[in-house]
Structure 1
Amino acid sequence: MYSPVLVWFKRDLRVHDHPALVAAGSYVLPVYIIEPEYWALPDTSGRQWAFTAQCLHSLREDLARLGQPLIVRMGCAVQELSRLCQRHNVTRMISQEETGNGWTYARDRRVGAWARGAGVEWLELPQSAVVRRLASRDGWQSQRAKFMAGQAAAAPQALAPIQPAITTLEHLPDAKALRLSPDACPSRQRGGHAAATHTLQTFLETRGQGYRAQMSSPLTAERACSRLSPYLALGVLSVREVEHARQQARARHAGQGGWSAAFNSFAKRLAWRDHFIQKLEDEPQLETQCLHPAHENLRPRGRDQDRLQAWAHGETGVPFVDACMRYLHATGWLNFRMRAMLMSFASYHLWLDWRDSGPHLARMFTDYEPGIHWSQCQMQSGTTGINTIRIYNPVKQGLDHDPDGRFIRAWVPELANVPQSHIHTPWTWPEGRRMLGQRYPAPVIDLAQAGKFARETLWGLRKQAGFRDVAQAVAHKHASRARGTDRSNAGTLRQAAARRSKDNPAQLRLDL
């Protein structure tokens, strides 16, 4: 009797384009482990678990149709994998590479040490264009293009059932069982493969036509953006699947107004997604340490809890900021420009350290992707040393993207009676003095003074001796080579670091 190959599912909850599942053959022990220690981390939340549970139900059904249902266990990964391997004489285990947070990185190292000691061969296969142990960014764009052009792996036709049947969690735990805080997210996207494919289809056939023009405003982005980010974050769809579908849809819509620009913009965002995840893969400390060390201790850690809580609850007294935060609380999603504005406001105007504000946003995002999230937290806080210091003016952003105040009135109903001429700045409304501090808070800071202080401080830091040399090293390791050529060009990188770098997602927004 052959021993089954254990396939360990993590952030790859699908059966299509799943290289590990294909490589395992037909006699497969498919396993997912719910890890309570992971769900106790400060960047996890009940909304993320609820979405994950729906995706697990979907994966269970898909695998059951193939002949072997998903085996779900709860506990420590090393202990659960060890038990399964011993009980079923497993000598070979396959999984797909995961670029998660620091905890999952350390857990995988523990699993690797156990596997070596137990004589279990553990093969990890790439599931995206992110390259493990990448020697240099030179040529990375070409490697990615080659991977994306490759054929997506078809789902297995059938899996042989494991006999006797294996004990599994019949009912997935709820958030309370995982000791997660109550987390009402009434408009959260639904998890699972059917929801993912429907979302992809509607974007490529109808919703996406205005993608390029409508991605920036929260009034239009909810429909115009692909909304695929949570499904990509958990691997319900692979990036390669989405890219192939995009190419096919582009051919179908050839010559139709707006679609060519939309598909080109979307392709760039998919590429930038891999680019940012590659940064975390190359430098795991990016989650906890400033990319340019000169920014360490720039902002006080954990000291201004009043400002942090006001920002986190949408109570800063700046209407457009508060509307975006409240919308995020209710939906688990927000378009990229508004995400960037929330982070910029926390870091520059409120002068909060990104390691204090970043975990709150991570918990709120159903589509939390560590590689993108922590890179963006640092970029929008000015701590990379190579990106432009982009201080979003929240009033201007509101006037640009919600000129009539419709979004503000929908999410900050306390301001319903404020006239349109003052909806973005209620503190300038003569009658607003009676309201501010009562129904709605007065601004927690003076926007102009706070912005001026942040700008002078950050640019002053960049003028210090040695700053530029370190920035050049950061750029060489992490900056995109997409402009012009994949070949290394030290002169170009020096220029990029000196002129605030062109590696700027504020210009190529990740509005997935």
Structure 2
Amino acid sequence: MAGSKKQKVNLVWFKRDLRLSDHQPLANAIASDLPCILIYNFEPLLLEDPHYSLRHWRFVAQSLKDINQQLEKYNAEIAIYNQEMITLLETLSDEFDIAGIYSHQEIGLHNTFERDWLVKSWLNNKAIPWYETPLGGVKRARPKHFDWQTYWHGVMNQRLVTPNWQAFNAILPNNYQAATCVDDFLEHDPQFQYGGPHAARVCLQSFVEERAMNYQSGISSPSKSRDSCSRLSPYLAFGNLSLRQVYQTLKYYLAKQPLSWRRSLHAFESRLHWHCHFMQKFETQCSMEFAPQNAGYLHYPYRDDELVAEHLKRFEQGQTGIPLIDACMRCLAATGYINFRMRAMLVSFMTHHMNIHWHPVSLILSRYFLDFEPGIHYPQIQMQASVTGTNTIRLYNPIKQSEDKDADGMFIKTWCPELKNLPIEDLHQPWQQPPMEALFNNFKLGEDYPEPMVDIEQAAKQARERLWSFRERDDVKQGAKVMLHQHVTSLKKQRHGS
């Protein structure tokens, strides 16, 4: 009826925090005693972003389906939209009196940063408060002198947040219909991990109770890591679990599991620290999405010849002619997962051996990584591309990695079946087969499998000269000092007595 009073509500805006447990914004919204509208928006700006692909939106859609099944007992659901965020807020404010918006802070890409400024401006004009909760152990607007390690441990050891479900009152807008894109995203590919808090908890439980036993021995192998690594990264990236939930579960099992397991569990615990460490760096210097952390590397002599596009395409398709590189890329394309050592090798190969700028390489990998997390992705890409001036230069030899980490060739044979009949002595470097042996193996390089697009040994020598000579430049050294001043925590200063 015209002139009728709007119903007062809170909005809970889900982003990369797709769970109901240990969810501070949701708990805070429920505690305010107002009805809640829970929303997720498949924003066009993200659906069109070159960092993402169908695999990410499928994971999100699966997560939302799981959560909405959990909410059925409360006669509630997350309302799913596909609109520009300001348009959605305008529509909701036409129907409701929005008392406040509750969400986690987002450690996202530049486009979500710009969107947040538009949202903040819109909310300010409407006098609507936005209650943002810090994400994990990341501190926004970190003070200059800040003991980040102590802060991180404090956050991880806090009691898990439990919403008051007895007071939960969720409603839906009138005439609500879920965004049609959801149905397009829900078709599951069994080679990918399934999204949602339920699958996340199963994965965590299987790791701490069974799979962690082989964590240390399998972490560097592209084959063994598929089982022995935690495989929790996509669930953390999209917030099906909070890092605090994982940390506290791990601490419980550290006290419970036999001594022989503890080394592996402690090694995994260190990765949880690094998770937030890299996200904190990105939050502090988000420009690294586009530019090197060390400004001296703005002038690094990357290639700009006409073959760069072709080489990027061959890399993306797993057709470089280097068996382990191709096996890793094909595995990523098909499953969304490869272990950390192989990720580092892929970046090193393209930025060092091929001398191609890290940014287009990072876009290819982000589309493939099911666990793409902007705050971890870009600091890692730049570290492995050796454009920080502070980290060790890691020039991985893909042939040595192949012989060491896939000694029996099973990973290569799985993902490059055209090589499966080659003897192991030729598998890692098929271009070195003598002609008579290639004839005997019924194998023709250039037809059955591509010729390598680079001479590994020669390219490594050139890369080594480029990398080390550039690192000695005054502007790179100065950039390294600026970086260390910007990112080193006060805890480190305290340990050195300053």
Q: Distance in 1 between matches of 2:233 and 2:118?
A: 29
Question: Secondary structure of the equivalent of 1:4?
Answer: strand
Aligned residues of 2:382 and 2:388 also touching (Cα < 8 A) = yes
Structure 1 residue 86: Cα displacement: 3.3
- Residues 387-402 of structure 1: matches in 2 within 5 Å? 387-402=391-406
Determine if the alignment matches structure 1 residue 465 to structure 2 residue 484. no
Asked if residue 290 in structure 1 is aligned to residue 292 in structure 2, the reply is yes
**C-alpha distance in structure 1 between counterparts of 2:395 and 2:181, whole Å:** 42
Trace 1:41-440 onto structure 2 (pairs within 5 A): 41-136=49-144, 138-158=146-166, 160-162=168-170, 166-170=174-178, 172-174=180-182, 186-255=190-259, 257=260, 259-298=261-300, 299-300=302-303, 303=306, 304-430=308-434, 431-432=437-438, 435-440=444-449
In the alignment, structure 1 residue 20 sits paired with structure 2 residue 17: no
Q: By how many angstroms is 1:479 displaced?
A: 4.3
Rounded to whole Å, the distance in 2 between the matches of 1:278 and 1:155 is 27
Deviation at residue 301 of structure 1 after TM alignment:
5.4
Which moves more between the two structures, 4-13 or 288-297?
Answer: 288-297
Q: Secondary structure at the residue paired with 1:17?
A: coil
Could you tell me how far 1:198 is from its partner in structure 2?
Answer: 0.4
Per-residue deviation, residues 53-73 of structure 1 (Å, max 9, x unmatched): 101111222233334321112
Q: Deviations over 1:263-292 (max 9, x none)?
A: 101110011000001111111101100111
Whichever residue aligns with residue 28 of structure 2, its letter is A
Deviates more, 1:24-33 or 1:1-10: 1-10
Q: What is the deviation of 1:123?
A: 1.2
Contact 2:45 2:111 in 1 (8 A): no
Query: Alpha-carbon deviation of 1:184?
Result: 9.5
Partner AA of 2:354 in structure 1: L
Instruction: State the match for 1:509 in structure 2.
Output: none
Establish whether residue 444 from structure 1 lines up as the match of residue 453 from structure 2. Answer: yes
Amino acid at match of 2:100: R
Q: Which structure carries more helix by proportion? A: 2
What are the superposed Cα offsets for residues 125-153 of structure 1, whole Å, 9 maximum, x if unpaired? 11311010112374101110111111110
- Count of aligned pairs: 483
1:300 CA drift (Å): 3.5
- After superposition, the Cα gap between the structure-2 partners of 1:3 and 1:240, relative to the gap in structure 1 and judged at 3 Å, is same
Partner residue, 1:3:
8
Partner AA of 2:394 in structure 1? R
Deviations 1:73-100 (A, max 9, x none): 2101111022213311112111111101
Query: Structure 1: which amino acid aligns with 2:452?
Result: P
Q: Say if 1:194 and 1:176 are closer, same or farther in 2 by CA, change over 3 A.
A: closer
* Separation (CA, whole Å) in 1 of partners of 2:468 and 2:55: 38
- 1:318 to 1:271, Cα distance in 2 relative to 1, 3 A: same
Q: Deviations over 1:16-39 (max 9, x none)?
A: 000101111252111111112211
> In structure 1, what residue type is equivalent to 2:470?
L
Tell me which moved more, 469-478 or 275-284.
469-478
> What amino acid maps onto 1:276 in structure 2?
F
d(CA) in 1 for partners of 2:490, 2:215: 25
Equivalent residues of 2:282, 2:288 under 8 A apart: yes
Asked if 1 retains the 8 angstrom alpha-carbon contact of 2:320 and 2:451, the reply is yes
Q: 1:163 to 1:128 in 2, by over 3 A?
A: closer
Cα 1:375–1:405, aligned 2, differ >3 Å: closer, same or farther?
A: same
Distance between the aligned counterparts of 2:18 and 2:345, measured in 1? 31
Q: Is this contact kept in 1: 2:296–2:475, CA < 8 A?
A: no
1:487 aligns with 2:494: yes
Distance 1:79 1:171, change over 3 A: closer
Give the drift of 1:174: 5.0
Q: TM-score, normalised by structure 1?
A: 0.90
**What whole-Å deviation, never above 9, does each CA across 1:417-438 have from its counterpart, x for those lacking one?**
2111111111111134861100
Letter in 2 for 1:452: K
Aligned to 2:3: none
Letter in 2 for 1:14: R
SS at match of 2:130: strand
84-93 or 263-272, larger mean C-alpha shift: 84-93
Cα distance per residue 1:162-182 (max 9 Å; x no partner): 56754433365158699xxxx
Show CA shifts across 1:366-387 (max 9, x none): 1100011111111111111111
Q: 2:37 aligns with which of 7, 29, 35?
A: 29
Q: Go from structure 1 to structure 2 and tell me whether the alpha carbon gap of 1:316 and 1:79 turns closer, same or farther (over 3 Å shift).
A: same
Offset at 1:395? 0.5
CA contact (8 A) 1:185 1:332 kept: no
- Paired AA for residue 114 in structure 2: A
Moved more, 27-36 or 145-154: 27-36
Task: Look up the equivalent residue of 1:247 and give its one-letter code.
Answer: K
Cα distance change on mapping 1:155 and 1:67 into 2, 3 Å: farther
Cα distance in 2 between the residues matched to 1:161 and 1:383 = 51
